[in-house]
Chains A and B, each alone.
Chain A
Amino acid sequence: MLYYLSLPILSILLIVLQSIITDIVFSNRLVFEVSLLVVIYAGFRLDLIKGTALALILGFIFDCVSGSVLGVFALIYIIVFWGSFYISDWLDTEKTHVIVFFSFLCSFLKEIILNFFYYLAFDINVLINVYFIILIQSLIIGLLAPLFFYWMDRTGILLYEERV
Chain B
Amino acid sequence: MFFKKYKIIIFISVVFITILIVISYNVKYSKDNSFLRKIVLETASPVQEILSGSIKSVKDAWLRYVLLVGIEEENKKLTNKINELKAVLVSYQESYQEAQRLKKLLSISDNYKYRFITARVIGREQAALSRTVLINKGSSDGLRNGMPVIAYPGLIGRLVDVSWNISRVLLLIDENSNIDAIVQRNRTQGIISGSGSRGMILKYISKTQDVQKGDVIVSSGMGGVFPKGWLIGQVIHVDRQDAGLFLKINVAPFVDLSKLEELLILSSDETTF
Minimum C-beta distance from A20 to chain B (A): 6
Are B128 and A31 neighbours in the complex by a CB distance under 8 Å?
yes
Interface residue A87 (Cβ < 8 Å from any Cβ of B): no
- Across-interface contacts of B141 in A (CB, < 8 A): none
A111 touches which of B22, B124, B128 (Cβ 8 Å): B128
Does residue B175 face the partner (Cβ distance < 8 Å to A)? yes
Beta-carbon contact of A130 and B16 below 8 Å: no
Q: List 15 A-B contacts (CB under 8 A).
A: A12-B43, A20-B48, A20-B52, A20-B123, A23-B52, A33-B126, A49-B11, A56-B19, A64-B37, A65-B40, A68-B127, A70-B34, A114-B128, A124-B129, A124-B175
Q: Which residues of A contact B124 (CB under 8 A)?
A: 19, 22-23, 28
Give the docked Cα–Cα distance between A61 and B106 (Å).
Answer: 55
- A-side residues, CB < 8 A to B, are 12-13, 15-20, 22-24, 27-29, 31, 33, 48-49, 52, 56, 60-61, 63-72, 74-75, 78, 82, 111, 114-115, 118, 121-122, 124, 126, 129-130, 133-134, 137
In Å, the complex CA distance between A126 and B173 comes to 13
Per DSSP, are chain B's interface residues mostly helix, strand or loop, or mixed? helix
Interface residues in B173-207 by Cβ distance below 8 A to A read 175-176, 195-198
Interface 1/0 per residue, B160-181 and A, CB below 8 Å: 1100000010000001100000
Contact among B8, B23, B40, B123 for A71, CB-based, below 8 A: B23
Min CB distance A100 to B, Å, is 21
Residue among B19, B22, B161 facing the most chain A CB atoms (10 A cut-off)? B19
| Bound complex: CA A65 to CA B127 (Å) | 10
Q: Which of A16, A29, A60 contacts B47 (CB 8 A)?
A: A16
Contact status B126-A19, CB under 8 Å = yes
Residues of B within 8 A of A65 (CB): 40-41, 44, 123
1/0 contact string of B132-147 vs chain A (CB within 8 Å): 1000000000000000
Q: Return chain A residues, CB-CB under 8 Å to B271.
A: none
- Given contact pairs A61-B44, A67-B168, enumerate 9 new A-B contacts (beta carbons under 8 Å): A27-B258, A28-B124, A28-B258, A31-B127, A66-B127, A69-B27, A70-B34, A130-B196, A130-B197
Shortest beta-carbon distance from A4 to chain B in Å: 15
What residue of chain B has the Cβ atom nearest to residue A72's Cβ? B23
Task: List A contacts of B258 (CB < 8 A).
Answer: 27-28
| Nearest-CB residue, chain A, relative to B127 | A66
B61 at the interface (CB under 8 A from A): no
Count of chain B residues near A, Cβ 8 A: 44
In the complex the two chains form, is B15's CB within 8 Å of A52's CB?
yes
B15 engages A56 (CB within 8 Å): yes
Which residues of chain A come closer than 8 Å to B47, judged between CB atoms? Answer: 12-13, 16
B140 smallest CB distance to A (angstroms): 19
Q: List B41-62 residues whose CB lies under 8 Å from chain A.
A: 41, 43-44, 47-48, 51-52, 55, 59
Query: Does B66 touch A at the CB level, under 8 Å?
Result: no
Interchain CB contact under 8 A, B27 and A75: no
Chain A contacts for B130, CB-based, 8 A: 66-68
Identify which of B26, B40, B48, B175 gathers the most chain A CB atoms within 10 Å of its CB. B40
- Within the assembled complex, what's the spacing in Å between the Cα atoms of A78 and B127? 17
Residues of A within 8 A of B160 (CB): 67
Q: Tell me, rounded to whole Å, the shortest Cβ–Cβ distance linking A108 to chain B.
A: 12
| CB-based contact B128/A134 at 8 Å | yes
Q: Are B52 and A67 in contact (CB under 8 A)?
A: no
Are A18 and B19 within 8 A (Cβ)? Answer: no
Cβ–Cβ < 8 Å partners of A52 in chain B: 11, 15
Chain B residues near A61 (CB-CB < 8 A)? 40, 44
| In the complex, B213 has a CB within 8 A of chain A | no
Does B36 interact with chain A (Cβ within 8 Å)?
yes
- 8 Å CB contact of B36 from A23, A67, A70, A137: A70
CB within 8 Å for A82 and B128 given contacts A12-B40, A16-B47, A69-B27: no
Do B197 and A75 touch (CB < 8 A)?
Answer: no
Contact A28 B125 (CB under 8 A): yes
Instruction: Tell me whether A67 and B197 are in contact (CB under 8 A).
Output: no
Contacts of A67 in B (CB 8 A): 125, 127, 130, 132, 160-161, 168
